[in-house]
């Protein structure tokens, strides 16, 4: 087994060409060698030969022929995934070199989930830029279903927000920052706003703003509703857009489940109101998700350190606007 592994690694280092990997990814995308060859600007026989050479070098069958074309085997899917990661890293390296040429000291791409978007992320960016003002930061917002594939493909450096409890866990490593809880939020003019000791039965006449079906919180909510005599809200709106949710709550008598971290500022400013009902689901850790087998760039490590510092400041009750920012020490 060791000899076989060493043999394959030696062949890859000495014979593997990026053009072969580009073709491999293209065949996986099109499911057809002819279309992939056309995209690459080579003949079909040349493309077939390149795939055969890959199969010989890696000593596995990469594709299975069908009536409609070719389908990647489990070995093909694995090599395609690693090929995409290699190209993403090359793109990242080119972008980082370009940033350095333009005077930026590195670049970090952050996927952000709702739970960290309004408070933690801005605080961390402020800390990072105070220490490294020329770092380029790109923020991509979405759900775990949208962001995790980008993280695993190397297109995103880290995902910040509610840590996934089941899916993706084998391919990522996690760093917990703090525990967050879910609150039931309404507009200040909602009939239940200001009342105490609200029961779930009192919420039933009102519509709900809920997270998408693929999220853990939504599955927990649906399970809870089923346990409440198969309750179905009169109105259901699916949204993870905080600005949209806030506007809807201010305009209509709806109820929305939101992380306490997200809504704290609007509650303090009197723009929204917390429903006096203890939400029986949704508490969980907020943290950082990273690729399990990869290392961050200097800019990425600096931003991760800034996230930990922002989280510690939050725990200690230090205002976000406090300008006494501690230097970032990288391990």
Tell me the per-residue pLDDT of 11-57, one tens digit each, with 9 for 90 and over.
888 888 899 999 999 999 999 899 999 999 999 999 999 999 999 98
Helix intervals (H) in the chain: 2-15, 18-30, 33-40, 44-58, 74-101, 114-117, 120-131, 144-152, 200-203, 216-227, 242-251, 260-268, 298-316
What's the mean per-residue pLDDT of the chain?
86
What is the rounded (10 degree) CA torsion for 317, 255, 115, 182? Answer: 60
Two structure tokens written together for 146: 């949208």
Residue ranges of the domains in the chain? 2-83, 103-180+285-316, 182-282
**Residue 133 three-state SS:** coil
Q: 2-83 and 182-282 share one CATH topology?
A: no
Residues 6 or more apart whose CB falls under 8 angstroms from that of 68 comprise 31
The conformation of residue 81, written as its DSSP 8-state character, comes to H
Overall size of the chain counted in residues: 331
Nearest to 105 by CA among 301, 295, 299: 299
pLDDT in tens, 250-287: 999 999 998 888 898 899 999 999 999 999 987 888 89
Q: Is the pLDDT of residue 105 over 80?
A: no
Report the percentage of the chain scoring pLDDT > 90.
Answer: 50
DSSP 160-183: EEEPPSSTTGGGEEEEEEEEE-EE
Exposure string of 137-167, with b = 16+ CB inside 10 Å and e = fewer, is: beeebbbbebbbebbbebbbbbbbbbbbeee
Q: What is the CATH number of domain 182-282?
A: 3.40.190.290
Residue 324 has pLDDT above 50, yes or no: no
* Cα distance between residue 193 and residue 273, in whole Å: 6
Pick the CATH number of 103-180+285-316 from 3.40.190.10, 3.40.30.10, 3.90.1150.10, 1.20.1080.10: 3.40.190.10
Kindly report, residue by residue over 204-219, the tens digit of the pLDDT.
Answer: 999 999 988 878 888 8
Pick the CATH number of 2-83 from 2.30.30.100, 1.10.357.10, 1.20.1560.10, 1.10.10.10: 1.10.10.10
């Amino acid at each position: 087994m060791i000899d076989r592994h060493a043999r394959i690694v030696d062949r890859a280092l000495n014979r593997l060409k990026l053009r072969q990997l580009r073709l491999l990814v293209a065949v996986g995308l099109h499911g057809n060698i002819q279309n992939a060859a056309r995209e690459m600007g080579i003949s079909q026989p040349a493309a077939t030969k390149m795939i055969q050479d890959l199969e010989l070098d890696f000593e596995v069958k990469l594709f299975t022929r069908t009536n409609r074309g070719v389908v990647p085997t489990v070995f093909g899917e694995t090599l395609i995934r690693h090929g995409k990661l290699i190209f993403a890293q090359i793109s990242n390296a080119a972008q980082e070199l370009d940033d350095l040429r333009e005077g930026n000291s590195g670049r970090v791409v952050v996927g952000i989930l709702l739970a960290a978007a309004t408070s933690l992320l801005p605080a961390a960016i402020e800390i990072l830029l105070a220490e490294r003002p020329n770092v380029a930061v790109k923020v991509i917002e979405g759900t775990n279903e949208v962001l995790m594939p980008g993280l695993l493909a190397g297109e995103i450096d880290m995902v910040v927000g509610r840590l996934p409890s089941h899916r993706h866990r084998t391919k990522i490593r996690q760093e917990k920052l703090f525990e967050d809880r879910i609150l039931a939020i309404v507009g200040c003019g909602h009939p239940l706003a200001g009342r105490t000791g609200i029961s779930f039965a009192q919420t039933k006449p009102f519509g709900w703003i809920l997270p998408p079906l693929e999220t853990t919180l939504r599955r927990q909510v649906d399970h809870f509703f089923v346990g409440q005599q198969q309750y179905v809200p009169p109105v259901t709106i699916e949204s993870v857009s905080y600005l949209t949710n806030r506007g809807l709550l201010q305009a209509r008598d709806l109820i929305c489940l939101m992380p306490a971290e997200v809504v704290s500022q609007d509650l303090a400013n009197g723009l929204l109101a917390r429903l006096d009902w203890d939400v029986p689901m949704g508490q969980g850790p907020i943290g950082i998700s990273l690729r399990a087998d990869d290392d961050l760039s200097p800019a990425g490590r600096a931003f991760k350190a800034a996230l930990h510092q922002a989280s510690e400041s939050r725990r200690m009750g230090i205002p976000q606007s406090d300008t006494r920012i501690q230097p970032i020490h990288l391990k």
